[in-house]
A and B are shown apart, each in its own frame.
Chain A
Amino acid sequence: MIKSALKWTAAISVASALLASSALAARTDLTVGVRLEPPHLDPTAGAAAAIDEVVYANIFEGLTRIDESGAVKPALAESWTISEDGKSYIFKLHDGVKFHDGTDFNADDVVFTLDRARGETSVNAQKALFEPIESVTALDPLTVEVKLKRPTGSMLFNLGWGDAIMVAPESAETNKTNPVGTGPFKLGKWVKGDSIALTKNPDYWGEAAKLDKATFKIIADSAAALSALMAGDVDAFPIFAAPEMLPQFEADPRFKVVIGTTEGETVLSTNNAQKPFDDVRVRKAMAHAINRKALIEGAMFGYGTLIGSHFAPHNPAYVDLSGVYDFDLAKAKALLKEAGLENGFKARLHLPPTDYARRSGLIIASDLKKVGIDLEIINVEWGQWLKQVFKGKDYDLTIVSHTEPMDIGIYARDDYYFQYKNADFNATIEELNATSDEAKRTELLHKAQKKLNDDAVNGFLFQLAKTGVWNAKLKGLWANAPVQANDLTKVEWMD
């Protein structure tokens, strides 16, 4: 009897010791939920955010990279010097960098990558980023000179985009299905339609990843995402698309709900060339007539940051102009009267098929009705939106989130669908493009933001929030999304 009791005690203590030790060893695998499956894995051949969400900084790296705050950091280029006139950049590359297929990364790969992206047959979605480049030359295996046609202040930032990641001539054409980069993770297995697994790259040149395996699981449906988190099948949803479900996670200690900002300025895009929107008083009247706080509550369940211009609030050069046009129906009416439109007018509002646009559209239409502006809501699919609104400029108003980082320059494009034409603003952007001095750039960015606000070019509504949910024991996931990426290089489990 005593003997068997002893046996049992021994067995139990061994078992519990085993259990305890396995509990102590931190987990090294992670399952991340994403909404959309990337069509392929080559960020240099498509605009889909889903591509960067999987591969940026994980599989592929560029000369520079953009960090969590949106600042430019060295990556494959360990340092650089810029000539006095701002037209020549000399990049010093990291030594000993290898692609996942074992080939070396060197200056020739940089020349190949940049020439390919700006070449005639390029299918790079952001080819314009490379347009200022005059030539790319390898000075020695670890030094590259990029000569520009004109000073381009945003060049280092541009080189940090997913579209500017470094590829090798041997693998460039097959990166869509078999991505070969220099990053801390390699592609493991892609179960089409279900998941994409990454495994740790043991030969990584920099600080190794803390995870051995990371799996991106594609879950399109919000209810399914909720169950997957609750059931423990998925550890994190960096972008959880249904804000109305967040309170459930906030109440559950197993999870952390993290609200950050994105690069998505949601605007009531206005056709500035169309009557009566060519009158600044009308645009200002609309800005006063929209109750943007109520809009964020109603359309976004309270998640989102008020903005007053086209600029991301997490950027160091941000100026808060969100209070300039306060919600004031009397002011709005007075401005309309001044413009000779005291009886109001009719206009069309084209809404693309996203939740934020459709919900915001209804609220804005009811707001504007109070000052006599009667909006006809027209729901369109993306294809039609691109064709009629964006390309054809056949619209009065539309609602869309502009998610490209640092894209204030679009207002200086004469053929852009806002149809905003202002010589002063264009001059500011031109000067900005020619400046690489940070202080001067900040000053010019302030000026540009104020100008857009003064002219009430668009209805500046809100910055889309990045609403993330993840296991409370996870550390290192990004709160903000300055680029559309899920950078897993610093992610680890805490005990």
Chain B
Amino acid sequence: MIAYSLRRLVSLCLTLIAASLFVFAVMEILPGDPAELILGINAQEDTLAALREQLGLNLPLTERYWIWITGMLSGDFGTSYTYSVPVTELIGERLTVSLPLALIALLLSTLIALPLGILAAGNHNKWPDISLIGATQFGIAVPNFWFAMLLVLVFAVTLRWFPSGGFPGWEAGILPCLQALVLPSIALALPQASILARIMRSSMLEVMHEDYMRTARAKGLTFTQTLKRHGLRNALIPVVTILGLQFSFLLAGTVIIENVFSLPGLGRLVFQAINQRDLITVKAVIILLVATVIVVNFLVDLTYALIDPRLHRRRQS
């Protein structure tokens, strides 16, 4: 188990280095001079030169990569070109919105999806199963920005139970913040839950037809007991994979939902930074996301090993 984890760690670091080189190169190729975007079309050449020097944009490429990468290793992601504050601070602020949002949405979708998926599998081809298939079809097909706008229309504009958008900041108290996160996390959770429920269902169905399940039943265990002791564990493996992918997606891929609800999250930060050619912020967030995906994958692999020890033993041999 330890050797396995170490090997995974090394490949994790190599992937990160490769990603950093790639991100840096892409950002340098893209047209658009940050200084020009900050100072607009009336700026004079000497003013631009002064700003470029201030931002360190006049240094050679290799030197800039070196400064960037060594800075990051010591926890310094540089100073945002446009906001003039440390990028770590910016990302930190945004994470206080994006992280809870992603976690609530993930929790919500898991809580809805898993029981429903199991229920449907247990009632294969009966009405709970058939109605779940219909409902999840709807959940996947509906664009989540549309669903989000519908939620706003009903619960913010008409009923006024929740704010129509925005985020008061955690220092305003937990309750107003949770209130601001309820609608967006429901909007995010709906499609996720639909996918998850379907996977849970099909994975359960598959497991139920395995030989060991039949053996367990033959030994005299009830259906529920077989599920609890043998079925659920195995059926969870594909579900965990999807959960891992969904978390990475939720962390950054929420630009649209964050726009509908005007939430100051990570997705909107990247979007804004790209528009303003705040390259140093873009680079930092992308690296962070790459790292998250890699780390989550790593954790997912470790979880496999916990759920089903045979998996990593098989790989070791």
Instruction: List A residues at the B interface (Cβ < 8 Å).
Output: 37, 39-40, 46-48, 120-128, 176-177, 191-195, 217-221, 223-224, 227-228, 230-233, 381-384, 386-387, 390, 404
Contacts and interface: CB of A to CB of B under 8 A. Distances in A.
Contacts of A220: 259, 262, 268
A194 B168 CA distance: 8
Contacts of A125: 38-40, 42-43, 47
13 contacts: A39-B82, A46-B40, A123-B51, A125-B47, A192-B94, A221-B259, A223-B149, A224-B259, A224-B260, A227-B152, A381-B32, A383-B33, A386-B41
A387 B166 contact: no
A467 B284 CA distance: 37
Given A220-B259, A233-B165, A383 B47 contact: no
Interface in B1-47: 30-33, 36-44, 46-47
Interface stretch (B196-204, B269-277, B287-295): B269-277
If over half of B's interface residues share one DSSP class (helix, strand or loop), that class is named, otherwise mixed; here it is loop
B42 A227 contact: no
A163 to B, nearest CB: 9
A42 to B, nearest CB: 8
Contact of B44 (A121, A127, A176, A191): A127
Contacts of A227: 149, 152-153, 156-157, 164-165
Contacts of B232: none
Nearest to A417: B41
A48 B34 CA distance: 13
A174 to B, nearest CB: 10
B215 interface: no
Interface of B: 30-33, 36-44, 46-47, 50-51, 54, 82-85, 90, 93-94, 97, 149, 152-153, 156-157, 160, 163-169, 259-265, 268-269, 272, 275-278
A123 B50 contact: yes
A217 B167 contact: no
Contact of B164 (A123, A191, A228, A384): A228
Contacts of B168: 191, 194
A218 B51 CA distance: 27
Nearest to A232: B160
A221 B258 CA distance: 9
A231 B46 contact: no
A383 B165 contact: no
B44 A128 contact: yes
Given A123-B54, A193-B94, A382-B32, 13 more contacts: A47-B43, A48-B40, A123-B39, A125-B43, A126-B43, A192-B264, A193-B265, A217-B166, A217-B262, A220-B268, A227-B149, A228-B164, A383-B36
A132 B227 CA distance: 84
B277 to A, nearest CB: 6
Contacts of B32: 381-384, 386-387
- The listed residue with most A CB atoms (<10 A of its CB), out of B39, B94, B277, is B39
B149 A195 contact: no
Q: 9 closest A-B pairs (Cβ-Cβ)?
A: A383-B32, A193-B264, A47-B40, A39-B82, A231-B164, A125-B39, A221-B259, A227-B164, A191-B169
B256 to A, nearest CB: 9
B157 A404 contact: no
A123 B268 CA distance: 27
Nearest to B156: A231
Given A125-B40, A193-B94, A227-B164, A176 B46 contact: no
B258 to A, nearest CB: 9
B37 A382 contact: yes
Contacts of B149: 223, 227
Contacts of B47: 122-125, 127
B85 A221 contact: no
A224 B97 CA distance: 18
B33 A127 contact: no
A194 B167 contact: yes
A146 B38 CA distance: 28
A243 B163 CA distance: 24
Contact of B42 (A232, A384, A387, A404): A404
B166 A386 contact: no
A233 B38 contact: no
A219 B83 contact: no
Contact of A386 (B36, B97, B260): B36
A382 B277 CA distance: 10
B84 A177 contact: yes
A219 B262 contact: yes
Nearest to B52: A123
Contacts of A176: 84
Contacts of B260: 221, 223-224
B186 to A, nearest CB: 16
Nearest to A42: B84
A439 B44 CA distance: 32
Contacts of B54: 123
Contacts of A122: 47, 50
A120 B259 contact: no
A221 B262 contact: yes
